[in-house]
Structure 1
């Protein structure tokens, strides 16, 4: 039998007991420490990660009421809360056992013990200690992430009318429980706005659960979102809660909802209507208390007309609709974002780049930005890493020179470039507006406006 990686500390003033316990346990666990006085406990707990302490209840002749054991139990729990403490004594008492467990002991064993029973109790104690340690680590990470999460999303910034309008809408709807649908191209900040809505809401201290429906395997949809019970399918070895239950009291953000197939849309609609989920393999319904925010870059209203997205589901998810404009439609915000990312990336890479040359500034302002805010961050980050100057030069900015296979010459201005891209997209898709709009990262309505603008 392979030894379990664990450290067991045994404390008793009887050397025979120490010897017997060591012999009984050393074949099962990698490290057994024995001491005959509890006064040595502190140094050991400071120097080692102890999984289980087997603690005698009495150390002085004539004192057999177990108070010494309770004192040292409290001392151990104060020094190492995750360590499992098992009390042992030759003078069994139900009341004493109850009191010990109330004060933090996990179990109570009488001397002399049965070796198999001792191993079983200690083994369970090791697993309990590890579980507590993992919980503590998770809580530490969670608290840190939660603190970072609740920092304001500074790149929800911009002086443009469109951005200010979006920010004002967030302030109005965040305190409500209304379902919100966020529309916008890739990189326009849909996740950031969903997060901001949660932070500004009454649910801010509860979880914010992000689900990328675009990357979720269709076969895993129900098990991931609704959970499952042990035995529901081949690999279901234990019960598992889904994302809706994880978001209890908080917000669930269903990203890329336009990617769902019609039959999965029907399942989601049922959950949103009834506010109940049923775990896979289980018969009973469970109530859910979540705020639902959805997002997509797809032309979802056109999809309803084309019967590829359910109208009743759209009605359910867009009590409030938030449209995020592409960066090319709010050019006054481009340099604000570029300077924001430069400041942040200076700190990240420990640099002191002062700004952008005039030529770099002009290029930033006139570029088409098909990748929106995400592309700004990417291009500025690369420039910060690569530049050897104290300002970003034009040649530090590596813009994409191709879109849909079209070469863009440096002498094309913004409107000429946009017109050319639209023409090539229409040629590529034989005049199909929906497909051309999707390739360009536009809604059909936005593409129609541009066709009228350029007389195409």
Structure 2
């Protein structure tokens, strides 16, 4: 087990022992734990006990099989057991048709045998980052939100006037094919809005393909979005379908759209205007039928600055614009969210649902929550894990208002007397984020970090 790895758990399911050994050795620097399984049934059993960041699944198990029937069947069983599971499919060389079918059935991505080590690591890193995002905003199984979701209602929790406007826009825009731009701070639930829009659409029976542009290296975005042909560049050993083509007939969700390089924005504009996509190295365009939902934490001012974002592309993306409120702007929803996450984590950790003191509830409602629902969720999870049989008090939630005040003062005054490493790190991350209007790529570059490393620090400090 590697303590310093970026992510917690990867599971690899393949009947080839050589593949399992190679994957375990390659991924152990990225994941703290890599579990390898050779029997499909063992993967289903594992999900009852563990929650992987990513599951890497072979398409064929029976000797000589090439139709991927067993792998696709197992994919369906795994997603039935955990609808939020992130699955990357392993296909045979040039198995593009199998890859497309797997993604239509819920797989997040695929890699082809024999794989490029760099491509596998990049794919698994992107998938793991998506897993963290999806589980942050997804409602727990068995919750009222899931019941609402199953009946076609929106699973977003909140009845404040600002959330009522969000519900109304989802209900009206969902059934159309209009492109939607979702704006909001980190942790407000932009992916959840995207999933509700897809669920309300006429494309609900088709795939929703998610691309987290903040988690993909700039050099790989072109290939990830548009696909590539064999030999288009070094390590392009087989044709690869892009996420845009994989979403054909369904919805393409472009998260962190503000991280799309200016050089690639005209190419996406062509897709939206002409409904065709041209893979890297291809001579012919391929027709696609997609609905695009994009999301960003960039401010409207930055989005409307042509130095950061093409205005003709913005015009195509924001036919409908949904602006998610911060948690401090809808404090009246905090008690409902608290009840929701207390029940979720008590169930997950096999505890009784803890009670709150009046002081704890008041403190949670009064807190500013710079990390929004994500930060509230993490605070409640920690409190449940460490809870005893006594009601939870403000101290159980580690809100640390004094820390926040010290960091803010230090940014304004430039003082450096406070040498506490955690507070200094938080101050520097906050300062970089504000300086670059929460553009993750720019802030990460300023700090000398990768985007994934910056996301981890934002999670750590509730930003």
Task: Quickly name the TM-score band, shorter chain normalised.
Answer: 0.5 to 0.7
- Residue by residue over 1:323-372, the C-alpha shift from the partner in whole angstroms, topping out at 9 and shown as x without a partner, is 00101111111121111111111111111124210111111011110000
The aligned counterpart of 1:330 is 330
Give the paired residue count.
309
The alignment partner of 2:340 has SS state of helix
TM-aligned CA distance change 1:136 to 1:398, over 3 Å? same
Distance in 2, Cα, partners of 1:147 & 1:186: 20
Query: Per-residue deviation at 1:319?
Result: 0.1
2:375 matches 1:438: no
Decide whether aligned partners of structure 1 residues 241 and 424 sit closer, same or farther in structure 2, where only a CA change above 3 A counts.
farther
Which residue is 1:213 aligned to? 213
**What secondary structure, in the 3-state scheme, does the structure 1 residue paired with 2:65 have?**
helix
1:226 shift after superposition: 1.1
Q: 1:266 to 1:299 in 2, by over 3 A?
A: same
Backbone CA RMSD of aligned residues:
3.4
Structure 1 residue 391: deviation in Å? 2.4
Bigger Rg over Cα? 1
Secondary structure, counterpart of 2:254 in structure 1: strand
Q: Deviations over 1:215-235 (max 9, x none)?
A: 221211221111112222222
Rounded Cα–Cα distance in structure 2 between residues aligned with 1:310 and 1:145? 39
| 5+ residue gaps, structure 1 | 7-47, 50-81, 85-125, 409-416, 442-456
The equivalent of 1:228 in structure 2 is 228
**C-alpha displacement of 1:401:** 3.9
Which residue matches 2:350? 350
Q: Partner of 1:376 in structure 2?
A: 376
Mark the CA change 1:433 to 1:222 in structure 2 (over 3 Å): closer, same or farther.
Answer: closer
Q: How far apart, in 2, do the equivalents of 1:227 and 1:203 lie?
A: 23
TM-score when scaled to structure 2?
A: 0.60
Partners of 1:433 and 1:390 in 2: CA distance? 40
Distance in 2 of aligned mates of 1:292 and 1:395? 44
Tell whether the 8 Å contact from 1:257 to 1:294 is kept in structure 2 after alignment. yes
How far apart, in 2, do the equivalents of 1:230 and 1:275 lie? 23
Distance of 1:434 and 1:219 partners within structure 2: 23
Q: Distance in 2 between matches of 1:236 and 1:135?
A: 25
Report the 3-state secondary structure (helix = DSSP H, G, I; strand = E; otherwise coil) of the residue aligned with 2:70: helix
Shift of 1:136: 2.4
Say which SS state the counterpart of residue 292 (structure 1) adopts: strand
Would the alpha carbon gap of residues 267 and 306 (structure 1) be closer, same or farther in structure 2, given more than 3 Å must change?
A: closer
1:394 maps to which residue?
394
- Per-residue deviation at 1:389? 2.4
The answer for the alignment partner of 1:127 in structure 2 is: 64
What CA distance in whole angstroms lies between the structure 2 residues aligned with 1:222 and 1:275?
17
Moved over 6 A (4+): 147-150
Describe the shift of the 1:289–1:184 C-alpha distance in structure 2 as closer, same or farther (beyond 3 A).
same
Q: TM-score, normalised by structure 1?
A: 0.61
Q: Residues 248 and 157 (structure 1 numbering): CA distance in 2 closer, same or farther, change over 3 Å?
A: same
In structure 2, distance between residues paired with 1:370 and 1:210: 25
